[in-house]
Structure 1
Amino acid sequence: MTTLLTRKTLGGTWGTVLLPLRPDDSIDFARLADELDRLAVAGLDGVYAHGTAGEFHAITDEEYQQVNELLAERCAGLPYQIGASHMSATTCLQRVELAREFHPGAIQVILPDWAPPSLDEVVAFLEQVAEVADPVPLVLYNPPHAKTRLTPADFGMLAARVPALVGVKVAGGDAGWYREMGEEAADLPMFVAGHTLAAGTELGAAGSYSNIAAFSPAGAMAWQHLMRTDQAAARDVERRIGLFFAEHVQPLASAGYANPALDKFLAHVGGWADIGTRVRWPYRSVEEEHAERLRPIASTALPELFPAP
């Protein structure tokens, strides 16, 4: 059991649970247990399961429960959240009900995805999800590829209409977007992309469900500490992360590799756990050897993200 999160307490850098897969696409739960043990001692503000990088869209209900059980067991001393996201609103509700029984700090959801919901339908969806999740609060994940993209004014309306909503996970935006969020949804914690967190923190972001924590959990926390003690140095790390991503990650995205493949690729470059780069069919996986070739390049370019044990 973990403490229920609120709009005042939700923040920081959270690490994602990635699924180690065997050649037949089955989950290797022994390797997953080891990964969770490593996440639990990395100093993260929390851990979450079933995000995009956790391939929530590609797992069965039985696997969903198995991952939840292992998360609750291995991360019992650390705040954790469980994703119940699904393209089907009905399946989402079922997963919310299952997730609630593990007493997470919050449950993450996306909006129904096949037919884009109107704002009235978004409210109706979140109100029903909140009722099923009660007393566990909600975090809404509204990524750039969502079919209903919410504005700062929309988030402010949802914060007022759905008290159970304690945070949002978004890509972030420019200074004007942050200013609007501060005006429209001042008390709603914003979680933005991990590789933009230094700039985001300065503009009002509360934290990140972090691809940098997928890259290097301990390094993500070292960088967060730098944000709080030396903003100029933290922004320089962000600049070099951007250069590394532009040279080594963006070409893979441009070649059509999906986000879960990119996150597992980064984790394999980081080499902090035996996760591998395999993602579930029908998505393509980046070759492990490509990630391994980049390890010395990454550690040289971004030493702050690879602190000594």
Structure 2
Amino acid sequence: MLLTAATLRGNWATLLLPINSDESIDYNKLSDEVEYFIEQKVDGIYTNGTACELHNQTEEEFYKIQEILATLCHACQMPFQIGVSHPFPAVTLQRIKNTLSLRPSAYQVILPDWVVAGPVERVAYLSRLAEAAPGIPLVLYNPPHAKKELSSHELQNLSSEIPGLIGVKLAGGDEQWFKEMQWARERLSVFVPGHLLASGVHKGIASGAYSNVACISPGGAQWWWRLINTDVYTALEVEKRILDFFDECIVPFKNKGYSNPALDKLLAASGGWNSIGTRLRWPYKWIPGTETEAVAKRARKYLPEFFNNSFS
């Protein structure tokens, strides 16, 4: 199930962290979540992205999460990626070494996040990670809130230096950005935000998304991905409705200072497919569950197709 730049594609669902009232992780709900993603036949599952609250786990919890994911995915040949990101480079490296036996399809990593790594340091860092994971490819997560957001030219240089780097997760950009990223079509799998997937594919750059849209409905997001590949103009119309829904129901919470994990959990709760809830771990504030019903109603108004169990 190892991925390549050519096979890393599609609608990838993010694992969200179910948090109990005592701030422990509910591993039974976590297992149920993975099983639901598998049932919905998403293209892949990844863990320890922002939505999985990678920044707020102990190492013991980290390893237990990965073991649950790997066991369930291997049982049905579901591709999965382990996010080993940590601000301390040595911890990231050790996480790779300690999870090699889980045989992930790829590792997702961030650049060192406390002191900004320069060009030579970035190559040294990713080279060491690649050496620690022989044969297992790397995917670089470089969001806008990273200490260093890489330019197209910097990404191209990294791609040339690190053969094991098969993909990147980026925020996308304007028309000029898409022109500058044309080189990546033959070199990397480029993932864009879930709510911009249709336009990213239409512009010839995007290969898929680590999808916030899948938080609303994993099966609905998978239906949309199929539509993107068969009728992109209709898929673009769906994207417009997704953006309208976000503008009305999600952006106001973002403007109130809620974090991306809080927004993702609100989307998942409003989708109604899970019992994860909206709770985040201390010290982060979460969106009250009482807000879910109104958002759920608007989601079904804007995106009725996402709540059709047949996803025809």
TM-score bin, normalised by smaller chain = over 0.9
The answer to whether the aligner puts 1:162 opposite 2:162 as a matched pair is yes
Residue type at the aligned position of 2:100: R
Pick closer, same or farther for the CA change 1:46–1:184 going to 2, 3 Å: closer
1:83, 1:133 → 2: CA distance? 13
The answer to whether the aligner puts 1:32 opposite 2:30 as a matched pair is yes
CA contact (8 A) 1:277 1:287 kept: yes
Structure 2 match to 1:143: 143
Q: 1:306: Cα distance to partner?
A: 1.7
Q: 1:296: Cα distance to partner?
A: 2.1
Structure 1 match to 2:274: 273
Q: 1:271: Cα distance to partner?
A: 1.0
CA contact (8 A) 1:195 1:242 kept: yes
Q: 1:87: Cα distance to partner?
A: 1.0
Structure 1 match to 2:225: 224
Residue type at the aligned position of 1:219: G
CA contact (8 A) 1:214 1:266 kept: yes
SS at match of 2:251: helix
- TM normalised by structure 1 equals 0.97
The answer to whether the aligner puts 1:193 opposite 2:193 as a matched pair is yes
1:33, 1:46 → 2: CA distance? 15
Structure 2 match to 1:304: 305
SS at match of 1:53: helix
Structure 2 match to 1:292: 293
1:183, 1:49 → 2: CA distance? 28
SS at match of 1:282: coil
Q: 1:121: Cα distance to partner?
A: 0.8
CA contact (8 A) 1:113 1:147 kept: yes
Residue type at the aligned position of 1:4: L
2:30, 2:147 → 1: CA distance? 32
Structure 1 match to 2:130: 130
Structure 2 match to 1:252: 253
Q: Deviations over 1:209-257 (max 9, x none)?
A: 0001111100001111111222221111111111111111111111111
Q: 1:95: Cα distance to partner?
A: 1.3
Q: 1:184: Cα distance to partner?
A: 5.8
2:98, 2:119 → 1: CA distance? 27
2:293, 2:120 → 1: CA distance? 48
Structure 1 match to 2:173: 173
2:184, 2:197 → 1: CA distance? 21
1:184, 1:289 → 2: CA distance? 44
CA contact (8 A) 1:155 1:185 kept: no
Structure 1 match to 2:283: 282
Residues 3-82 of structure 1: pairs in structure 2 closer than 5 A? 3-76=1-74, 77=76, 78-82=78-82
SS at match of 1:67: helix
Moved more, 176-185 or 153-162: 176-185
Pick closer, same or farther for the CA change 1:45–1:184 going to 2, 3 Å: closer
Residue type at the aligned position of 2:113: D
CA contact (8 A) 1:99 1:107 kept: no
CA contact (8 A) 1:156 1:185 kept: no
- Point out where structure 1 has 5 or more consecutive residues left out of the alignment: none
CA contact (8 A) 2:245 2:298 kept: no
Give me the identity figure in percent.
Answer: 46
2:102, 2:219 → 1: CA distance? 26
Q: Deviations over 1:139-191 (max 9, x none)?
A: 00000011111111111111110001010001111222122111366411100
Residue type at the aligned position of 1:91: V
Residue type at the aligned position of 1:45: D
SS at match of 1:144: coil
1:32, 1:147 → 2: CA distance? 30
Equivalenced residue count is 307
Q: 1:88: Cα distance to partner?
A: 1.1
CA contact (8 A) 2:51 2:264 kept: yes
1:272, 1:96 → 2: CA distance? 32
Q: Deviations over 1:244-279 (max 9, x none)?
A: 111111111111111111101100000111111011
SS at match of 2:167: strand
2:300, 2:98 → 1: CA distance? 40
- TM normalised by structure 2 equals 0.96
Q: 1:308: Cα distance to partner?
A: 2.1
- Point out where structure 2 has 5 or more consecutive residues left out of the alignment: none
CA contact (8 A) 2:184 2:190 kept: no
